[in-house]
Structure 1
Amino acid sequence: MNKIETRCLLCSRPLQSAISWKILLTKQFQSTICDKCSARFEHSPAATALYQYNDAMKDYLHQYKFLQDVALAKVFRQELHARFKNEKATIILIPMHPLKQKERTFSHMEELLKAADIPFTQLLEKTTTETQSSKNREQRIQVAPLFRLMTGAHVEHKEYLLFDDIKTTGTTLRHASEILLNAGARNVRCFTLING
């Protein structure tokens, strides 16, 4: 068995990874962060999220989304793959406004699922460049519709799973769910990487 040395994407400590047939033949990803960094992320007790929001997650989101460190999309790929690999519902990402995506240079949600090798589709468009993080709880709850169906999108009577990075008040997910349900979705469930 050969060992290759890589470094933790968060702290740069060396990672010793053994190449095995199990890793090569199954959908198991090489570790991208060390055990010490991994232990800083708090798993969520909620069935609708992987992790709880804490200081480690705040730092991760800042570096990934705002400092545009797209390599960090790989950090949670094993957990996301395990969660979604047998998902029967069509996975839909909460989209970014095109201007925000151009500014950021990548869609952080798309990159998370691509890194985890999870198929997804896009049926929604964001209607505003405003972010929910810039609003207080009351402003988030009273916000105008955030999404619309993409031109030519057909929402069959199927089950959909909305995926977003973080849930705080649930306004974003509620707005997206309403658009899909009003367009004919049979059922819409929600799942997030982080429960805020």
Structure 2
Amino acid sequence: MSVCLLCDQTLESSIGWQDLIGIKKTINLCNDCSKQFERADIIEEGETIDKITSLYTYNEAMREFLHQYKFLQDIALAHVFAHDLKSVLIEKEVIIVPIPMHPAKKIERTFAHVDELLKAANIPFIHLLEKVSTEVMGEKSKEERLAMKPLFKIKPGIELNNQHYILIDDIYTTGTTLNQAAALLKEAGAKKVEAVTLIRAETMNQ
């Protein structure tokens, strides 16, 4: 018997033909918790990033989810949105690249939250980037973001080829993080760079 990952309420379950052939969606949330999250399904095209897809809006339920997952280190919550991420990352012939954490931040958090989202969804990925700054984009004005030093560098010994890459991050706020990462990949030889984020949040400092 399974329980909701957020409120521990018992989840109803039944075995059907979808279970037998392995295509049934795994239910991790009760109906009450699930309906508190608001789908965004925003798809945008850009210059540096060819396409950005964001699945959910940043509301109170999502704020609580992020706090419990990232700051209270409840790693089991990586499974909450696994099906949603997998549904938009089933395209073949792409290389999945998570936005990395700064090493000091990873030690503080104890796990890489974007990596764990992908692992929960059984999505293969490769780290091509290293984070070289601990600065937080949402706390900066547009002018401050434009004056910033680079956030990333290509990992030593990595050579990119003329392929399709998809960057993965948990939340899109200003776009600075993803745009810097995409620009670096294209400069290194990427043919096409897209991005997928779990959440889309507006910022007051646009």
Structure 1 and Structure 2 fold alike (TM over 0.5) = yes
**Structure 2 residue 4 is matched with structure 1 residue 8:** yes
Deviation at 1:137, TM superposition (A): 4.4
Deviation at 1:190, TM superposition (A): 1.3
Q: Which amino acid aligns with 1:128?
A: S
Deviation at 1:7, TM superposition (A): 1.4
**Structure 2 residue 80 is matched with structure 1 residue 83:** no
Residue 95 (structure 1) aligns with: 100
Residue 74 (structure 1) aligns with: 79
Residue 193 (structure 2) aligns with: 188
**Structure 2 residue 115 is matched with structure 1 residue 110:** yes
Q: Residues 12-56 of structure 1, C-alpha deviation per residue, up to 9 Å, x if partnerless?
A: 111112234522532444211111111111101412111011111
Deviation at 1:136, TM superposition (A): 4.1
Aligned residues: CA RMSD = 1.6
Number of matched residues? 192
CA distance in 1, matches of 2:60, 2:103: 29
CA distance in 2, matches of 1:169, 1:28: 36
**Structure 2 residue 181 is matched with structure 1 residue 176:** yes
CA distance in 2, matches of 1:101, 1:192: 19
**TM-score for the superposition, normalised by structure 1:** 0.91
Output aligned runs, 1:15-164, within 5 Å. Answer: 15-47=11-43, 48-164=53-169
Q: Which amino acid aligns with 2:188?
A: A
Kept after mapping to 2: 8 A contact 1:159/1:188: yes
Kept after mapping to 2: 8 A contact 1:28/1:78: no
**TM-score for the superposition, normalised by structure 2:** 0.87
Deviation at 1:167, TM superposition (A): 0.6
SS of residue matched to 1:33: coil
CA distance in 2, matches of 1:21, 1:43: 28
Where relative contact order (Cα < 8 A, 6+ residues apart) is larger, the structure is 2
CA distance in 1, matches of 2:105, 2:150: 17
Deviation at 1:133, TM superposition (A): 3.8
Identical-residue share of aligned pairs (%): 47
